[in-house]
């Protein structure tokens, strides 16, 4: 079993739709949770960073963390064609752990928003 | 300056060549990373440097040799690579202590697309 599971999709939605992306994880040492967006042939770009359970909002993006269920989500409201990219969830362990500093990624979900 | 700069953007090398990838950041980050990414796969960690010291080596073959000359620079020296080493090589940096640092996380460069022929 992988430490982080993410449905690779692909996911295709019409412009304006609400997009929901999800990851589950098995390692309870993960304390920091990130969502990255990666356009083709580019490096990952940090969208959201959280370290506590609950919701965090930034513009059209909302990140949700449920540590009790080991489940994180990213919601994109009013999706645009420019949101078409691969979305990667990523997690890092707490300080003092042997894996501190290491980022563990999900497989990535390919999203296409069509006009 | 909130960028991680990687050079070159593209590199083609033969299996007997020696080349180096370079990475630079001026955000005061004290942790720097090398990741390898194959097509349609997530990035895979290769090395972690913390305060210019190698702290994690994910069992990477010795034909990849990292170097951290100072807190802003990270190199990856390549020698006798194989065609299967062709990939996007990503450099990243972060605050060493992620706890309670607000909008933190890794900042990635755009990568070097390496082709081994």
Q: Would you say residue B31 has pLDDT above 60?
A: yes
Contact check, Cβ <8 Å, B98/A88: no
Mean pLDDT of A38-44: 92
Strand partners, A35: A48, A89
Which residue shows structure tokens 């969502």? A35
Contact check, Cβ <8 Å, B111/A94: no
Local confidence band at A52 (pLDDT 50, 70, 90 cut-offs): confident
Distance CA A24, CA A16 (A): 26
**Sign of the four-CA dihedral B69, B72, B78, B84:** positive
Distance CA B66, CA B73 (A): 11
Nearest CA-CA distance, residue A77 and chain B, Å = 21
Predicted confidence at residue B28, as pLDDT, reads 87
Mean pLDDT of A19-30: 94
pLDDT tens across A56-105, in order?
Answer: 999 999 999 999 999 999 999 999 999 999 999 999 886 555 555 688 99
Q: SS3 helix, strand, coil % of chain B, rounded to 5?
A: 5, 55, 45
Distance CA A23, CA B6 (A): 30
**Please, is A72 exposed, middle or buried when counting C-beta atoms within 10 Å of its C-beta (0-12, 13-18, 19+)?**
buried
């Amino acid at each position: 079993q992988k430490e982080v599971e993410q449905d690779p999709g692909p996911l295709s939605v019409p412009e304006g739709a609400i997009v929901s992306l999800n990851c589950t994880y098995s390692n309870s040492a993960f304390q920091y949770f990130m969502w990255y967006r990666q356009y083709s042939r580019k490096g990952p770009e940090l969208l959201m960073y959280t370290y506590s359970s609950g919701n965090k909002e930034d513009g059209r993006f909302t990140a949700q963390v449920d540590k009790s269920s080991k489940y994180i989500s990213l919601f994109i409201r009013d999706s645009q064609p420019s949101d078409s990219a691969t979305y990667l969830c990523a997690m890092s362990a707490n300080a003092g752990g042997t894996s501190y500093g290491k980022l563990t990624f999900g497989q990535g979900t390919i999203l296409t928003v069509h006009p | 300056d909130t960028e991680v700069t990687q050079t070159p953007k593209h590199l083609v090398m033969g299996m007997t060549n020696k080349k180096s990838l370079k990475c630079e950041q001026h955000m005061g980050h004290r942790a720097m990373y090398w990741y390898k990414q194959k097509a349609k796969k997530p990035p895979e960690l290769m090395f972690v440097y913390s305060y210019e010291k190698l702290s994690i080596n994910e069992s990477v073959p010795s034909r990849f040799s990292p170097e951290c000359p100072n807190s802003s620079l990270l190199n990856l020296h390549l020698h006798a690579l194989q065609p299967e080493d062709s990939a996007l090589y990503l450099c990243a940096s972060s605050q060493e202590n992620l706890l309670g640092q607000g909008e933190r996380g890794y900042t990635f460069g755009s990568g070097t697309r390496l082709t081994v022929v």
